[in-house]
Structure 1
């Protein structure tokens, strides 16, 4: 019922939205002599804010057409290399002629960046992808919006997620590297453990976990406490709704993206209110650059997708309530998941000092689980002065975190080459 009411509210606000857009366009028109007056800027600012607050935010575009490598622009073309109804594996293919002009002639490590399936689209990692493109062949998991997947396609749960990670790693060939950002940490570690136990040649060469809830019992945050305090039945009764018409997934039970967005924003409501007030003031002052930065951030932040009922509830249950993976109790398709079976996969964990989503220690827990790895295979890094978002995006990520991750991958890539040569 809530989903239907949400849709009804959106369509009911259409007259207000259209009026706001018309007012904004009128007072921003170069043909309007009053556009630069105080009244004109005030009316334009108010109408612009109202139009943005009432519009629908769809899947953002990647917008990555090129990347600078050693001072040379290199064209980039996103290419789909594999897909299922639930995900599109996208390869950001760099132009080989441009790469040669940049002095890069050798094959560079293949990296699978596993985007979180926790409300936002994979484009939230745009800055992450741009950084990795400087030195790697980059592949990204672009997850589907559950409301757009017909019911006839069946279920998608935590175990399907693990299977998808395994299959996408196989698509990259022998010993690719995998970067799990936030939510994917537990299923990616499970996939790596199963592949290691099976001796698959496409098991990762290294795995990097960034702000991931490997063991959510450490430094519990507001998110963790909510999951622990509420009984499982509460989540099923209060967080799951049915997709209405006319979406392709009509009838599917989902955890709606707008519910997740409300949860995100309520955690820092005052900060979001202040940001919108600053946006209004910037528009009234005619500060277009600052206003554009605000829009760029919120165009991404307010774009959300739905999760299937089974995936969301199993994640709450397995990761945040029962803590199955760190307790050694996770069973996948009848098999126990044993991180201790990992013996030749590099492990790096990255955390943010001020992370209010995955607290300090939650990601580091992966080191204690991977008992088969020697210290030479492990590295931990805590980035000072950043929160959750800063672990994988922003200036400190580009200047301080990414160079460490790149060096870690290169070190293990060199070790893999020596192993292959010796064999």
Structure 2
């Protein structure tokens, strides 16, 4: 019912939002003689904030049309190389003619989180790796856009998708999992080793992931443990309303996830919007644009299938199945100790309030038969969850270490 009310509210506000857009156009028109007056700027800023906070944000674009290699610009084209109902695999293909004089570079599969935001949240992650890697990324599909006839999608399916992608890309691929996919990626690699799969990846880098949420539990972890899976099923699982293609599919809506995230730091978001308002009144276009760029991405959310979401909450945050040796895939226990060929690197942020310090590093304790020479860990000082995979510290300090690790383990 809440999902239907959300859609109804969005429809009800639409005429006012349209009026605000018309008003903005008139107030900011270059031929308006009063456009630069404080009164008009204040009114325009008010309408801008109203429009931006009531808008439905669609799926953003990566917008990575070019990279730089050895000081030269290289065109980049997005190509879909693999596709299933709930995910597409995007290849950021660099212009072949511009790459002829560049030696072979490591093949990298970035596994984006399926946790409410689109894969474009990792735009900075991709951008930093493009000059040095043949980059692919998982582009998860908004569950409300997938018809019921395509079936369900749960944690087992997620792991199968990862394994299928590894088969598609070949045995010379490196994996990089950001946050949520650390668990299914880790499990997929273990399953491949258990099955003597010749396509096991050369390395996997797990960044800010909940391998063992008993380590330095955060507020997110505590809420899941205290409430239990049944609470989430009763309170946040809803049915997709008409006219979306996935009508009647049970999902965990993106707007609910977003509301939870924003509530955790509500004062910070309110301060940011007040600052945005002030920047527009003062004519500080650069600061206002940075605000828009961040929130255009942050407010773009997607739905997850209920079965995937509930299974993840139950296995990862409530039961702690993986570190306890009880995590299963298709009814068979996943054995991390089977991992012997794929090198493992873990990365954590000192101030991460989503995946606490030690939660990702716990993967090393589970890989009991993996040689010490194939293991590496890095804790980045001064960064939170987002800073682990985006921003200046990621580009300058974390990404170079990840690339060096992959280079070290580019051969069996």
Place the TM-score, normalised by the shorter chain, in its bin: over 0.9
User: Within 2, Cα distance between the matches of 1:274 and 1:404?
Assistant: 35
Partner of 2:146: 149
Partner of 2:255: 258
Q: Alpha-carbon deviation of 1:3?
A: 0.3
CA deviation vs aligned residue, 1:45-94 (integer Å, no higher than 9, x gap): 11111110111100001101001112111110010000000000000001
Partner of 1:206: 203
Partner of 2:389: 392
Partner of 1:378: 375
Aligned pair count reads 412
User: Within 2, Cα distance between the matches of 1:406 and 1:7?
Assistant: 44
Is the 8 Å Cα contact of residues 175 and 201 (structure 1) preserved in structure 2?
no
Q: Alpha-carbon deviation of 1:107?
A: 1.9
User: Within 1, Cα distance between the matches of 2:116 and 2:289?
Assistant: 24
Q: Alpha-carbon deviation of 1:201?
A: 1.8
**Equivalent in 322, 326, 331 of residue 323 of structure 2:** 326
Partner of 1:46: 46
Q: Which moved more, 1:327-336 or 1:253-262?
A: 327-336
Spell out the pairing of 1:160-309 with structure 2 (5 A cutoff).
160-309=157-306
Partner of 1:34: 34
Is the 8 Å Cα contact of residues 24 and 48 (structure 1) preserved in structure 2?
yes
Is the 8 Å Cα contact of residues 240 and 248 (structure 2) preserved in structure 1?
yes
User: Within 2, Cα distance between the matches of 1:352 and 1:368?
Assistant: 19
TM-score (structure 1 length as normaliser):
0.96
1:108 is aligned to 2:109? no
1:61 is aligned to 2:38? no
Partner of 2:25: 25
Q: Which moved more, 1:361-370 or 1:224-233?
A: 224-233
The SS at the match of 1:279 is helix
Q: Alpha-carbon deviation of 1:24?
A: 1.0
1:346 is aligned to 2:343? yes
Partner of 2:14: 14
User: Within 1, Cα distance between the matches of 2:385 and 2:35?
Assistant: 40
User: Within 2, Cα distance between the matches of 1:73 and 1:201?
Assistant: 36
User: Within 2, Cα distance between the matches of 1:41 and 1:29?
Assistant: 12
Give structure 2 stretches of 5+ with no counterpart: none
Partner of 1:407: 404
User: Within 2, Cα distance between the matches of 1:97 and 1:174?
Assistant: 25
Is the 8 Å Cα contact of residues 17 and 50 (structure 1) preserved in structure 2?
yes
CA deviation vs aligned residue, 1:94-137 (integer Å, no higher than 9, x gap): 1122223xx41x22111110000000000000000011111111
Following superposition, which runs of at least 4 residues in structure 1 exceed 2 angstroms of deviation? none
The SS at the match of 1:325 is helix
Partner of 1:312: 309
Partner of 1:367: 364
User: Within 2, Cα distance between the matches of 1:17 and 1:338?
Assistant: 53
Q: Alpha-carbon deviation of 1:175?
A: 3.0
Is the 8 Å Cα contact of residues 121 and 142 (structure 1) preserved in structure 2?
yes
Give structure 1 stretches of 5+ with no counterpart: none
Is the 8 Å Cα contact of residues 228 and 314 (structure 2) preserved in structure 1?
no
The SS at the match of 2:322 is coil
The SS at the match of 1:224 is helix
